Amino acid sequence: MTIHREGYTSIAIGTIIFIVLNVISFYFLSPELPLLGWVVFVVTLFLLLFLISFFRVPNRKLTISNGQIIAPADGKVVVIEEAVDDEYFKTKRLQVSIFMSPANVHVNRCPLSGQVVYNQYHKGKFLVAWHPKSSTENERHSVVIKNGNVEVLVKQIAGALAKRIVNYLEVGEEVEQNEEMGFIKFGSRVDLLLPVGTKVNVQLNQAVQGGVTVIATL
């Protein structure tokens, strides 16, 4: 396991806060209230470890499979339905949505190989990520990857806690399946918009792993 580069600053700040709080606790609380001093230490250590775990990148054997769509993120499948896309396709698409809790790995990966033909950031609200309108009203970043005649839209969506979406791709860039496409900080969701009729290999409420689970077969 490694730590993602997006976490270096947050972890450094968290470590400084942990040290400062516990130094203050040691000098001002521990002499008179040793139990409270231990509570402060345990709670702040738990929060620091949770922060570090949020930016973890586990070692995995990634799934490489041409003709299949691989999960772009860890989480739980919360939507499998047909929906009209008003942003890019302007037609009905098959939507598969993955909700990421703060405990999930938050690296986002390209679900297929191909060329980036669309890349657009949208300002928006911060509704909870499982809200039906979060796909169209929340802060989000949309990318379309084209492989042959197939185009897939991947939408990184901020949640109630997520305040920063990072996307590394550029229009015209050739990407490989499971290559890192971005990162969303602190709870979020990723939508896949696939061609109607695509065979879906997952079910609602199924837990999936980014870069590993096969979402659909084209």
Q: Which of 97, 135, 142, 188 is catalytic?
A: 188
Q: What would the 3-class secondary structure string for the chain be? A: CEECHHHHHHHHHHHHHHHHHHHHHHHHCCCCCHHHHHHHHHHHHHHHHHHHHHCEECCCCCCCCCCEEECCCCEEEEEEEEEECCCCCCCEEEEEEEEECCCCCCEEECCCCEEEEEEEEECCECCCCCCCCHHHHECEEEEEEEECCEEEEEEEEECCCCCCEEECCCCCCEECCCCEEEEECCCEEEEEEECCCCEECCCCCCEECCCCCEEEEC
Residue 142: active-site member: no
Tell me if 145 sits within 8 A of 154, measured CB to CB.
Answer: yes
- The residues assigned a catalytic role are 188
